[in-house]
Amino acid sequence: MKFRNRNVLSFWTVTYTLCVVMMGTNVPAPLYSIYSRMWDFSSGMVTLLFATYAFVLVPSSLLFGQLSDRFGRKKMLLSGVVTAAVGTLIFAIAHETWMLLLGRAIQGLCVGILNGSAIAMLAELRPGHRKGASFAASVAIAFGTAAGPLISGIVAEYTPFPVRIPYYMHLALLVPAIIGIMVTRETLQQHSRTFRLRIPRVPASIRFPFLTATFVGVFAWAVAGFFMVVAPTFVTSLVGIRNLAVSGAVVFLMLGSSTITQLLFKKTAFARAIFRGFVFLTTGLVGVAVSIPAHSVWLLLLSTAAAGVGHGPAASASLGMVTEMAPAASKADAVSSYYAIAYLGVSVPVLGLGLVAEWLGMYGAILVFSVAVIVGIFILSRFIPLALKEPQLMVAP
């Protein structure tokens, strides 16, 4: 009984850690407009800050998933949280643009160190409830990502030190995570005795369902990233409200809706959750394409919420498929590979929107993005039933 209670406490400690680290990566989002006014940098610099995070995260995810299988989950988790604290501290004391870029790169590094190990550890703490473990991880990521800009936007708008206090608050939230991980037991029973840096390998037996699930995550996070960038901008332009709390609240609307739907549909079968997600993701994209020329802020907000309702079940089910199918020996590799690919869905659209907008304008770029994603979702939906027929997923609820 004591061992079981300790496992439960460790499970929620890791969940909290994942949530608060992801919260920190989005604390800067509403503050970029302040930095832009302070240091007179362009929208291109904001795009570079978003991209720097992803470009560091992707290779670090692939590397540290392997290190987790070699040295254990606990060491990687502790390293990741400490790295997150360093990144937040750099933002807190930043006085030049290069410090923002450095802080953003370190944030990408910390997520790369932590994500695969955290999700693998959650699965190992609840070996009989893998779907529940992946669900907890998905909710923690979505809630942390949503809460970060909301809290920082409110604090920045209504306190005297808008580019300092949000980061110090985040540092305070990291302290319990560091202490909790330090007293959490290691869950990896068999460590790899040798280590050689390699490209992470997903076993051939699960490669097709893995890629299918991963591209579900790509599209879900692509739409999330799109709304995180576009929705606050157009709410500001349509309504004329220049309030950091409002900008943070719009992002929270999207990812908050995602979190709620993950809670509501946590027992839904993988296929049903994914198809339900695809319907709402498509609805959100169509809605935003109509709302902008119609100058309807309410339609834009409803579309943002719809996209969140779609993101929740699609992202959660795709991660659930990966954790369900991956063998224990390569679980961290599989999860890290999943996130390395899925996070490209957040970064590439932001860069693509900026590039296409130079030629077609922002609204033209939005139409191109929306059509591309809807076509991609339609094609991918044809592969979902085939992927779920794989033996590793036949037992999934």
Please report the pLDDT score of residue 395 as a whole number.
Answer: 40
Which residues have CB under 8 Å from 5's CB, separation 6+?
none
- Please, are residues 392 and 324 in contact by the beta-carbon 8 Å criterion? yes
Of the listed ranges 7-11, 233-237, 261-265, 389-393, the one predicted with least confidence: 389-393
Tens digits of residue pLDDT in 121-137: 888 887 666 667 777 88
When the pLDDT of each residue in the chain is averaged and rounded to a whole number, the result is 83
* Whether residue 310 has pLDDT greater than 90: yes
- Amino acid sitting at position 6: R
- List the one residue out of 350, 349, 334, 279 whose CA is nearest residue 312: 279
- Please, are residues 166 and 151 in contact by the beta-carbon 8 Å criterion? yes
Q: pLDDT band at residue 286, thresholds of 50, 70 and 90? A: very high
Q: Report the share of the chain in percent with pLDDT over 90.
A: 32
For residues 362 and 321, which has the higher predicted lDDT (pLDDT)?
321
Q: pLDDT band at residue 239, thresholds of 50, 70 and 90? A: low
- Please, are residues 261 and 148 in contact by the beta-carbon 8 Å criterion? no
Architecture of domain 2-184+204-393: Up-down Bundle (1.20)
* Whether residue 372 has pLDDT greater than 50: yes
One-letter-per-residue 3-state SS of 317-385: HHHHHHHHHCCHHHHHHHHHHHHHHHCHHHHHHHHHHHHHHHHHHHHHHHHHHHHHHHHHHHHHHCCHH
Please report the pLDDT score of residue 174 as a whole number.
Answer: 96
- Amino acid sitting at position 43: S
Q: What are the structural domain ranges in the chain?
A: 2-184+204-393
Overall average pLDDT of the 112-123 stretch: 84
Q: Kindly state the tokens that stand for 74.
A: 């606990």
Cα→Cα distances 47→52, 197, 198, 352, 380, Å: 9, 31, 31, 10, 28
Q: Report the share of the chain in percent with pLDDT over 70.
A: 88
**Distance in angstroms (rounded) separating the CA atoms of residues 339 and 324:** 15
362: number of Cβ within 10 Å: 17
Cβ burial of 69 (10 Å; 0-12, 13-18, 19+) is: buried
Tens digits of residue pLDDT in 19-53: 999 999 989 888 887 888 888 876 667 777 877 88
Please report the pLDDT score of residue 176 as a whole number.
Answer: 95
Q: pLDDT band at residue 172, thresholds of 50, 70 and 90? A: very high
Please report the pLDDT score of residue 216 as a whole number.
Answer: 93
Tens digits of residue pLDDT in 176-208: 999 999 988 887 766 556 666 667 777 777 888
